[in-house]
Amino acid sequence: MIRFYHALFSLSAYFLILASYLSPGVSAYLIPEERAAPVAPDGYTPARVDCPANTPRVRRATGLSINETDWLPQRTNNTVSAMKDLLSRINITGIDTGRYIDNLTSNGGTGLPRVAIAISGGGYRALMNGAGALAAFDNRSTDATQTGHLGGLLQSATYLSGLSGGSWLVGSLYVQNFTSVESIVLSTSGFLSTLWRFDHSIFDGPSDLNIVRYYTQLFDAVNDKKKAGFNTSITDYWGRALSYQLVDPSDGGPGMTLQLEPMKHADYSKAVTFSSIANDTEFRTAQAPMPLIVAVERTSGQVQIAANSTVFEFNPWEMGSYDPGLEAFAPLQFVGSNFTNGTIPRNGECFAGVDNAGFVMGTSSSLFNQALLQIGQVQGVPDFLLNAINDTLTDIGDDNRDIAAWPNPFFGYNASVNVNANETQLTLVDGGEDLQNIPLHPLILPQRRVDVIFAVDGSADTATLWPNGTAMVATFNRSEATTSSADDNRFPDVPDQNTFVNLGLNNRPTFFGCSNRSSGPLIVYLPNAPLSFHSNVSTFDLKYTIEERNQIIQNGYNMATRGNGSVDANWPACVGCAILSRSFNRTRTAVPAICRDCFTRYCWNGTTNNTLPNTYEPAQILQGATEQSTSSAGRVSGTLLLAVIALLLAI
């Protein structure tokens, strides 16, 4: 029925089972690169830890956290040289950008342009498309500082947000000490080469891990969490499975001794918490942007709508929301402790480890839980795992199959605004379920003072699985519905989706918010488009050959650089103009002619054409590149699975 499982599967599974009896505990043991500290107290199982001297407490979301406020000036300082290098390389004629930036720096640095990057959801497609964009923006990538390239934009960025598939990319890089996309993709040996092996689907498990042991570890990890008294859902299995691709595919891991009886233990090697990123050298010293992972809250029986869903953010220090239904943040490391009225009572106990990095990524992408339900089709999956997944469904009900169950640190807190003040569990779902599939929401918060957002959209909106601006429209609609005070940023005007398609705004970069009327950031919309490859693969394709993975990443690189400037030689300069645009307004600097030209060509000028377009079938943009078919051998068709999921969700 489903092509995940080639005919040989049962045969190979048989040998794997045999092998597991013959060689217990011995498997490939790779020494990982330095990365986020494995500070989870007991593997995947949350466990009691000593309470810190300062009692962890929930804070009112009246402004940014002290942690972020302290970190920001360091980050600003560290972006200066990358930004100057980038701007000088891309050669904006008519302005000495080096002197311009120096001048802003000498005036205290508060006027420096603040850059953010947002990576949309859309499963592996969004991860790979986003990875290409990040590689293009990363001055560590080969040739990224050559003419026509954009290396240094990532090093100039203060924030990097990810949602669902985009959160897999962001989370994966940060738990590897902010390694580069290229160092994962180009590695042929060593630990990094074992990541992002999408040729081994989550149903297969990593190549070096005995499949029975893989499934047993999935089961044990979740079961141990459950036994420790924490609610679990399919998201726990999903997050565990993801971690083998994104965090650590081997049995080896930092702080772990070789387990001779791995089946009896929770999975220690994958026990990297998201909060441990706060301790990571690269992040702590502000050498990397601040990562933000987005999920949305669902109260029981509620259908998510963009206009009033509570959007949660996870950052290395905290989880919570600035939205009206909560307006509070909890210290991420200690979520799972018994918070009452916002504090852990004196003599109360502190728990840590709920914020497992894979669980955070799984929460942001909980829609994909549905895919795990197909695991029953795989031969060789042990019954105890199927039963456990089935039991989970029985526990939480079919309507809630896509939720992540978080202990509610906001229990009893600020009941006048907190709609979950009486709940001991927080129900979080995929960040894209309110249609805001690009994680822009945390970046338009006025206190973050972002000047420009590079919005990488790998959504599959059209019938042909390309984006059509739906995520932009959703965030615009929400902003229209909720902007109440003059302090709020207005999201820029955007047209309807038909206009996006009819005017080709989904086929090339477009700037939104160019007029002075927009108070918030300028949005540089970067839609997935076929530059060198038809990267419109299905969201629910869970398996890709390495060749195909690399082609989609390369296409993302080309999308971000417009074919390294071959489509428009001035594109890099236009990116520079976008970075400087709000700053020019602030400093009342005359906009250079080349920037005026960029804004004429890239800003959406308010034109609309909302007639229903024909089926959107874009041609490949870079003619030199070989035309590729999307159905290369070895990739799994997810169309059928997609249909099943669509039925289940009624979407």
List interacting residues with ligand NAG (CB under 6 A): 34, 39, 54, 66-67, 74, 77, 81, 91, 93, 99-100, 103, 107, 177, 275-276, 278-279, 281-282, 308, 317, 325, 333, 338, 340-341, 345, 376, 383, 386-387, 390, 412, 415, 419, 421-422, 461-462, 468, 470, 497-498, 501, 587, 613, 616
- Say how far apart CA 350 and CA 149 lie, in whole Å: 48
> What is the closest distance, in whole angstroms, from the C-beta atom of residue 650 to ligand NAG in the complex?
14
Smallest CA-to-CA distance from 418 within 301, 297, 317, 303 is with 297
- Say how far apart CA 431 and CA 297 lie, in whole Å: 9
CA 2 to chain centroid: 28
- Say how far apart CA 125 and CA 559 lie, in whole Å: 14
Largest CA distance in the chain: 74
498 vs 519, beta carbon nearer ligand NAG: 498
Q: C-alpha distances in angstroms, 369 versus 236, 458, 651? A: 9, 20, 15
198 vs 314, beta carbon nearer ligand NAG: 314
Beta strand 404-407 with 59-60 is unpaired
> What is the closest distance, in whole angstroms, from the C-beta atom of residue 103 to ligand NAG in the complex?
4
> What is the closest distance, in whole angstroms, from the C-beta atom of residue 65 to ligand NAG in the complex?
6
- Say how far apart CA 146 and CA 129 lie, in whole Å: 21
Indicate if the alpha-carbon torsion angle 97, 98, 101, 102 is positive or negative: negative
CA atoms within 13 A on the CB side of 312: 28
Angle at 35 between CA 33 and CA 40, to 5 degrees: 125
Smallest CA-to-CA distance from 190 within 271, 140, 258, 249 is with 249
Q: Helices 234-246 and 211-227, interaxial angle, to 10°?
A: 130
387 vs 609, beta carbon nearer ligand NAG: 387
489 vs 497, beta carbon nearer ligand NAG: 497
480 vs 627, beta carbon nearer ligand NAG: 480
* AA identity, residue 442: P
506 vs 554, beta carbon nearer ligand NAG: 506
48 vs 490, beta carbon nearer ligand NAG: 48
> What is the closest distance, in whole angstroms, from the C-beta atom of residue 279 to ligand NAG in the complex?
4
Which residues 6+ apart lie within 8 Å of 6 measured at CB?
none
- Say how far apart CA 612 and CA 610 lie, in whole Å: 6
Residue, CB closest to ligand NAG:
34
> What is the closest distance, in whole angstroms, from the C-beta atom of residue 260 to ligand NAG in the complex?
28
> What is the closest distance, in whole angstroms, from the C-beta atom of residue 632 to ligand NAG in the complex?
25
> What is the closest distance, in whole angstroms, from the C-beta atom of residue 506 to ligand NAG in the complex?
8
> What is the closest distance, in whole angstroms, from the C-beta atom of residue 39 to ligand NAG in the complex?
4
Q: C-alpha distances in angstroms, 169 versus 73, 314, 369, 489? A: 26, 15, 18, 28
118 vs 381, beta carbon nearer ligand NAG: 381
> What is the closest distance, in whole angstroms, from the C-beta atom of residue 56 to ligand NAG in the complex?
8
22 vs 651, beta carbon nearer ligand NAG: 651
Q: Which residue has 């390495």 as its token pair? A: 546
> What is the closest distance, in whole angstroms, from the C-beta atom of residue 545 to ligand NAG in the complex?
28
262 vs 592, beta carbon nearer ligand NAG: 592
> What is the closest distance, in whole angstroms, from the C-beta atom of residue 227 to ligand NAG in the complex?
16
Smallest CA-to-CA distance from 258 within 24, 475, 33 is with 24
The answer to whether the CB of 282 falls within 8 A of the CB of 276 is: no
454 vs 466, beta carbon nearer ligand NAG: 466
83 vs 553, beta carbon nearer ligand NAG: 83
> What is the closest distance, in whole angstroms, from the C-beta atom of residue 490 to ligand NAG in the complex?
21
Angle at 378 between CA 377 and CA 384, to 5 degrees: 95
- Say how far apart CA 352 and CA 249 lie, in whole Å: 23
> What is the closest distance, in whole angstroms, from the C-beta atom of residue 592 to ligand NAG in the complex?
11
Which neighbouring-strand residues pair with 273?
Answer: 356
The answer to whether the CB of 76 falls within 8 A of the CB of 109 is: yes
Structure tokens that stand for 158 in this block: 């203060």
- Say how far apart CA 270 and CA 30 lie, in whole Å: 13
81 vs 632, beta carbon nearer ligand NAG: 81
Structure tokens that stand for 417 in this block: 């605004």
The answer to whether the CB of 494 falls within 8 A of the CB of 324 is: no
